[in-house]
């Protein structure tokens, strides 16, 4: 049975992170939205020390906790990410930590790889990791990846271009951190999905270049980079999983398992942004003497009240889906369907909630005097990365109906 009451430990963590979001993130959110390509080092260093010493950061455990509650690891991360995204989604994404690259290592790496690469996040200096999947000609269709990995003696040689890599600069530039990038590449194009593998490329590896950072609509405090690989040589043991190409796409499913862990996290971030907009809307309506009257018959409610309650209900539904997906992951249960449901619901809800909030408040919502218009810009990415709305709906349909990707595309 799922218990949606948080433990006292999780509740305390949530409250502490809410204070961080309110007092350390909100005051600087507009400033770093304006200065997109300036790294918020003071905030990053503060959060690195906070997470290292108290274990309140996403996916972290306190150093003095002798028996970490690993059964809450993913749920803890989702709760942390929601609160930090309530503060500012861009600043949350700019934080150092395992990120998507670390999630890939956790999902598909060997025990030795987990120890070797994830131990970097226990040091005194901030470290980032990133995941490089998307290419100029391969977006939602991961099987269309053109980046190649060719074995040459005791090395793999990577060639190709990756775009829209979240934290690609901080993870790939050795002057920023001792980080790494997990790169998706094909070892056999003729094998289709079965030939797709993921490889760990350390920051500063010759042949990997951070070509540029994108100018974006939202989440502007974080970097989104283009990475170019030209005869980039990495050791053989930097591949995640087996180098063998199976006759079926089962190996590709192992690579895709990363998303079972990360999609609920993206959903949690979306919920945080949506909650920020909804909280602000409630405060403004209260200030203007427009109460939200719960318990009234529907036909006695105003249009604004009905809209607000609908927004609130959808946001709560997205949260419960997200917590369920995280809860299942914590217990080692297959959550492919639930992770996609959470991501699809949260991505849709956050765009609707933020846009409706702007609409209801009119000129005030559209003005840059408040953060509401920023939250609307930040919201949309949650409906795109980690699998677009359309891709996740396809996955949901395939799982429910029992169809393969060839049967339903």
At residue 214, φ and ψ (nearest 5 deg) are: -75, 150
In sequence order, the 6+-apart residues with CB closer than 8 A to the CB of 277 are 353, 354, 357, 372, 375, 376, 379
Element holding 180 (H helix, E strand): strand 180-186
Band (360; pLDDT cuts 50, 70, 90): very high
Token look-up 């539904």 returns: 317
Mean pLDDT to the nearest integer, 357-368:
95
Provide the angle, in degrees to the nearest 10, between the axes of the packed helices 73-94 and 8-20: 10
> Is 71:10 a contact under the CB 8 Å cutoff?
no
Residue 63: predicted pLDDT: 38
Beta strands in 134-179 (DSSP E): 148-152, 155-166
Going by pLDDT thresholds of 50, 70 and 90, the confidence category of residue 406 is confident
Burial of 114 (0-12, 13-18, 19+ CB in 10 A): middle
Span 185-228, pLDDT tens digits:
999 988 888 889 999 999 999 999 999 999 999 999 999 999 99
Active-site residue flag, 115? no
C-beta of residue 200 within 8 angstroms of C-beta of residue 180: yes
The answer on pLDDT for 113 being more than 60 is: yes
Average pLDDT over residues 263-279: 97
Whether 8-98 and 256-401 share one fold: the answer is no
pLDDT of residue 68: 45
Catalytic residue among 135, 305, 386, 407: 386
Segment 338-356, tens digit of pLDDT:
999 999 999 999 999 999 9
Which has the closest alpha carbon to 352: 396, 386, 307, 387?
307
The CA dihedral of 332, 1, 315, 130, to the nearest 10 degrees, is: -10
pLDDT at 246: 62
Q: Which CATH architecture has domain 129-251?
A: Beta Barrel (2.40)
Domain boundaries, the chain: 8-98, 129-251, 256-401
Tell me the CATH number for domain 8-98.
1.10.540.10
Whole-angstrom distance, CA of residue 259 vs CA of residue 243: 20
pLDDT digits (tens, 9 = 90+) for 143-162: 789 999 999 999 999 999 99
Query: CB of 186 within 8 A of CB of 197?
Result: yes
* pLDDT given for residue 58 in this prediction: 67
CATH assignment of 256-401, among 1.10.240.10, 3.10.20.30, 1.20.140.10, 3.50.50.60: 1.20.140.10
Region 93-115 average pLDDT: 92
Number of residues that this document lists for the chain: 409
Rounded distance, CA 118 to CA 153, Å?
27
Q: Which of 45-59, 214-228, 246-260, 317-331 has the lowest mean pLDDT?
A: 246-260
Express each pLDDT in 81-103 by its tens digit. Answer: 999 999 999 999 999 999 889 98
Can you give the pLDDT at residue 6? Answer: 83
What single-letter DSSP state applies at residue 7?
P
What pTM was estimated for this model as a whole?
A: 0.91
Mean pLDDT for the stretch of residues 108-127: 93
- Dump the DSSP string for 266-304: HHHHHHHHHHHHHHHHHHHHHHTT----TTS-GGGS-HH
Residues 3-38 pLDDT 10s:
667 888 889 999 999 999 999 999 999 999 999 999
Report pLDDT for 65.
40
Which has more confidence, 240 or 63? 240
User: Residue 162 and residue 229: Cα distance in Å, rounded?
Assistant: 8
pLDDT one-digit tens code per residue, 40-77? 999 999 999 988 776 666 655 433 443 445 578 899 99
């Amino acid at each position: 049975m799922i218990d949606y009451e948080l433990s006292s430990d999780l509740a305390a963590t949530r409250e502490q992170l809410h204070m961080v979001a309110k007092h350390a993130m909100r005051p600087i959110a507009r400033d770093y939205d304006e200065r997109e390509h300036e790294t918020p080092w003071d905030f990053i260093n503060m959060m690195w020390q906070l997470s290292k010493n108290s274990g309140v950061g996403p996916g972290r455990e306190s150093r003095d906790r002798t028996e970490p509650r690993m059964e809450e690891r993913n749920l803890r991360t989702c709760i942390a990410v929601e609160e930090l995204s309530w503060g500012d989604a861009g600043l949350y994404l700019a934080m150092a930590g395992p990120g998507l690259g670390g999630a890939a290592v956790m999902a598909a790496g060997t025990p030795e790889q987990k120890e070797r690469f994830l131990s970097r996040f226990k040091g005194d200096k901030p470290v980032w990791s990133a995941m490089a999947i998307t290419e100029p000609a391969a977006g939602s269709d991961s099987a269309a990846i053109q980046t190649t990995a060719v074995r040459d003696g005791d090395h793999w040689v990577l060639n190709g271009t990756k775009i829209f890599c979240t934290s690609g600069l901080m993870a790939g530039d050795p002057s920023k951190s001792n980080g790494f990038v997990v790169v998706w590449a094909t070892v056999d194009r003729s094998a289709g999905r079965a030939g797709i593998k993921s490889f760990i490329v350390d920051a500063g590896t010759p042949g990997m270049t951070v070509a540029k950072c994108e100018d974006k609509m939202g989440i502007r405090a974080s970097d989104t980079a283009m990475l170019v690989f030209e005869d980039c040589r990495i050791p053989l043991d930097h591949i995640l999983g087996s180098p063998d190409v199976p006759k079926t796409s089962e190996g590709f499913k192992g690579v895709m398992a990363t998303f079972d862990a990360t999609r609920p996290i993206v959903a949690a971030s979306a919920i945080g942004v949506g909650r920020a907009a909804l909280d602000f809307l409630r405060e403004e309506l209260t200030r203007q003497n427009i109460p939200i009257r719960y318990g009234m018959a529907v036909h006695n409610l105003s249009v604004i009240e009905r809209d607000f309650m609908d927004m609130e209900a959808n946001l709560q539904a997205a949260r419960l889906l997200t917590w369920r997906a995280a809860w299942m992951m914590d217990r080692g249960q297959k959550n492919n369907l639930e992770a996609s449901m959470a991501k699809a619901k949260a991505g849709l809800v956050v765009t609707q909630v933020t846009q409706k909030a702007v609409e209801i408040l009119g000129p005030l919502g559209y003005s840059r005097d408040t953060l509401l218009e920023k939250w609307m810009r930040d919201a949309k990415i949650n409906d795109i990365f980690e699998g677009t709305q359309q891709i996740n709906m396809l996955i949901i349909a395939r799982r429910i109906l029992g169809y393969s990707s060839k049967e339903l595309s």
